[in-house]
């Protein structure tokens, strides 16, 4: 028998944005499934929100599938998935090498922040289709840097750019199945994600004025906006401190590109 309450599965929920969201949803009457790599913080988060915990490596498909299966077995439904797991660059991409060819760079950041999100989205789509009423809501954490650039974090920035492409594409296609796919693009959020490796090596610890920080309540407000809006599909919601902006995709430069990208309005002109 499916749970009478809505069910949320959140990756990267042992702390930070994921935990903030879990706490609020629990207050709103949701059942919570925590998927987290760190067993200690993940279990503590699950205990706090009286939910369930699965230790998950988001870069491993079988590991993520286990979390979805655990959630389904416990509650019989999954209404909301928050693909939130992410890490900053784990090494200095620009570091000089003493040999040629240089050693292979680590792509762990893109595997977690992009590949992990793709796995989460794929699994969410299939479970949403099996809900008592087919459909559901998926939100993926991108970054404000994906709208601009982050020279000090090139792999992280590239991964978050990719998330926007994923969200816009899936959001457009899955709308017909009552599956809403959206993204949040936060600014500077105080979490334990850490600092860029380069800044750590330099001993630099930047500080921001209080009004420039995106706080827990700002993130939760953005999540609730997307959850509560039945017409939110493929929305990329930038969260800049207390302000939120729905960022539109780039305009087509001409009819040729519009045609190639499948805009029906363009087809009617040919």
Helix (H) / strand (E) element for 186: namely: strand 179-186
* DSSP summary character for residue 180: E
Question: What's the rounded mean pLDDT across residues 250-259?
Answer: 89
What are the residue numbers of the active site? 156, 160
Residues 6+ positions from 149 with CB-CB distance below 8 Å: 157
Give 215-232 pLDDT, tens digit per residue: 889 999 999 999 999 999
Cis peptide leading into residue 101 (ω within 30°): yes
Give 12-34 pLDDT, tens digit per residue: 998 889 999 999 999 999 999 99
Question: What's the rounded mean pLDDT across residues 236-261?
Answer: 92
Structure confidence at residue 207 (pLDDT): 63
pLDDT-above-70 percentage for the chain? 90
Domains of the chain by residue range: 7-267
* Most confident of the following: 44-53, 88-97, 204-213: 44-53
Structure confidence at residue 270 (pLDDT): 46
Kindly report the pTM of this predicted structure. 0.92
Domain at 7-267, CATH homologous superfamily: NAD(P)-binding Rossmann-like Domain (3.40.50.720)
Structure confidence at residue 197 (pLDDT): 56
């Amino acid at each position: 028998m499916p749970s009478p309450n809505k069910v949320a599965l959140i990756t990267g929920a042992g702390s930070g944005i994921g935990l903030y969201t879990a706490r609020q949803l629990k207050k709103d009457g949701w059942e919570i499934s925590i998927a987290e790599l760190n067993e200690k913080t993940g279990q503590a988060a699950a205990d706090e929100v009286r939910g369930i915990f699965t230790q998950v490596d988001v870069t491993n498909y079988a590991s993520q599938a286990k979390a979805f299966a655990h959630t389904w077995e416990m509650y019989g439904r999954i209404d909301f998935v928050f693909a939130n797991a992410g890490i900053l660059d784990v090494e200095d991409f620009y570091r000089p090498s003493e040999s040629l060819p240089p050693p292979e760079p680590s792509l762990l950041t893109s595997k977690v922040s992009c590949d992990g999100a793709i796995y989460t989205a794929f699994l969410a789509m299939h479970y949403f289709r099996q809900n008592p009423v087919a459909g559901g809501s998926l939100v993926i954490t991108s970054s404000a840097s994906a709208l601009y650039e982050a020279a000090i974090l090139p792999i992280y920035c590239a991964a978050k750019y990719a998330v926007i492409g994923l969200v816009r594409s899936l959001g457009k296609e899955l709308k017909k199945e009552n599956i809403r796919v959206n993204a949040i693009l936060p600014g500077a959020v105080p979490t334990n994600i850490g600092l860029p490796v380069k800044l750590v090596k330099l001993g630099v610890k930047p500080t921001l004025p209080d009004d420039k920080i995106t706080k827990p309540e700002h993130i939760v407000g953005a999540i609730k906006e997307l959850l509560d809006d039945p017409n939110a599909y493929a929305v990329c919601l930038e969260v800049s401190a207390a302000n939120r902006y729905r960022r539109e995709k780039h305009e087509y430069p001409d009819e040729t590109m519009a045609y190639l990208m499948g805009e029906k309005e363009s087809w009617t002109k040919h």
